[in-house]
Structure 1
Amino acid sequence: MTTFSANLGFLWNDRPLPEAIKLAYQAGYSAVECHWPYQFDASEVKAALEETGLQMLGLNTDRGNLANGENGLSALPGREAEARAAIDQSIDYAIKIEALNIHVMAGFSTGEEAKKTFINNLLYASDKAKPHNINILIEPLNHYDAPNYFLQTSEQAKDILQEIGRDNVKLMFDCYHLQIMEGDICRRLTQLLPIIGHIQIASVPDRSEPNTGELNYGYVLSELDKLGYSAPIGAEYKSKAGKVDSSWLDDYR
């Protein structure tokens, strides 16, 4: 049976994170994930997770200077100290709440020096995370929502992961981003499954509830079931209703 993780970066993001965790539980989610939880006391987040029995699947590294429009630091040459401080911060927080994964955000950059910087920072993250059984994730973002983001395709991610060669550094396969950039989602899931650490869904092209749009998630999820994928699927969507409507879950359970 397919189970789902509520991405609290988008869902109930007008509520404090501990409250959002409880709302996700009440809505019938089997796990949660978030973007940047650092403003909330980790002990309060952990208490909400324990109360509901939900696992925090993952969180993101800090984006950097938001006033300057930054969206990650780890592929920015010359910013290694800041990138690694952000990695340290995320690992420390993940340990406290027993999160399983950390998405290391690359940022806006391009070229071989950016790739080298990203790889070196990922190796650093891998070494720091491994003793705590935490996986490091990298995620391609589409060029409409994140123009000039360093990581944009699954092939680029696969190449980086092969060069790194670490079993705790994996691909975050966001069907929304990769449908926009590449399509052929089910074949890509089949081919890349050995290096996938987490899967996320949202409708395409509007990123709303995943039971609408051009991508048939009923079919996608049935194919994942055939492949033996049993981890919760991340629901990272923006509700069209203006408030969270989780009734779509019934379509795919």
Structure 2
Amino acid sequence: MTTFSANLGFLWADRPLPDAIRTAHAAGFDAVECHWPFDTPPEEIVSALRETGLEMLSLNTRRGDVAAGDNGLLALPGRETEAQAAIDEAIAYAHAIGTRRIHAMAGVAEGPQARETYVANLTEACGKAAAHGITLLIEPLNRHDAPGYFLTTTDQARAIIEEVGAGNLMLMFDCYHVQRTEGDVTGRLADLLPLVGHIQFASVPDRGAPDHGELFYPFVFERIAALGWSAPLGAEYRTGGDTGATLGWLRAMR
């Protein structure tokens, strides 16, 4: 049976994170994930996870100075100290709440020096994360939602994962981003599956619930299952404010 994780960066984002975890459980989700939980005391997250029996699958490193245009730090030359501090913070928080995956955000950058910085930062970060049994994820983002982001394609991500050569560096495969940039979602996923550490989804092109748009998700989910994937799939979509009103797809899958 296909299982699903609620990404609480988008779903029930108007609620405190512990309340959102409980609400996701009540709605029928099998796991949760989040973006930047650092303002919530870890013990509050642990309490909600224990109460519901859910796992927090992943969290993100901080973006940096968002007001100045930052969207991650690891590929930014000259800001390696900040990047590693963001990694250290994310590892400590993930360890405290039992999360085993961290999305290490690259940032807005381009060119050979950015790539060199990204590889070096990821190499160091993977060593730190491995000591805690944590996997780092890198995610290509499409140019419409994240203009200027360093990592944009799955081929680019694969080359970087292979260059770093760490067993705990994997691909975050977001069907929404891949469809907007490359298309052929199920074909790309089949090709990349050995490198994939987590899968997310949303409708294309509006990034809404997975019940409309270019991708027919019943087929996509069927193909993912046929590939042997059994971990929860991450629902990371924009709800328009009322998450509960968007969950018809989840009830149908159940």
Q: In 2, distance between residues paired with 1:199 and 1:252?
A: 17
User: Counterpart in 2 of 1:43?
Assistant: 43
Q: Which sections of structure 2, spanning at least 5 residues, go unmatched?
A: none
Distance 1:135 1:169 in 2: 6
Moved over 6 A (4+): none
- Aligned-pair CA distance for 1:247: 2.3
Give the alignment's Cα RMSD to 1 decimal: 0.9
**Aligned match of 1:75:** 75
TM-score by length of 2: 0.98
Number of residue equivalences? 253
Deviations 1:7-38 (A, max 9, x none): 00001111110000000000000000000000
* 1:98-247 map, 5 Å: 98-240=98-240, 242-244=242-244, 245-247=246-248
**Cα drift, residue 168 of structure 1:** 0.5
User: Cα deviations across residues 38-79 of structure 1 (Å, max 9, x unaligned)?
Assistant: 010000001100100000000000000011021000000000
Query: Distance between the aligned counterparts of 1:97 and 1:122, measured in 2?
Result: 22
Q: 2:115 and 2:89 mapped to 1: Cα distance?
A: 22
Q: Deviations over 1:163-191 (max 9, x none)?
A: 11111000000000010000001110100
Deviates more, 1:206-215 or 1:84-93: 206-215
* CA deviation after TM superposition for structure 1 residue 131, in Å: 1.8
Q: What does residue 52 of structure 2 align with?
A: 52
The percentage of aligned residue pairs carrying the same residue is 56
The normalised TM-score by structure 1 is 0.98
Q: CA deviation at 1:132?
A: 1.3
Once residues 241 and 32 of structure 2 are traced to their aligned partners in structure 1, the CA distance between those partners, rounded to angstroms, is 21
Q: Is the 8 A contact 1:209 1:240 kept in 2?
A: no
The answer to which of 2-11 and 238-247 deviates more is 238-247
| Equivalent-residue separation in structure 2 for 1:57 and 1:65 (angstroms) | 25
Q: Distance in 1 between matches of 2:90 and 2:27?
A: 27
Is 2:34 the partner of 1:31?
Answer: no
1:241 CA displacement: 5.9
Give ranges in structure 1 of 5+ residues lacking alignment.
none
| Deviation of 1:243 (Å) | 3.8
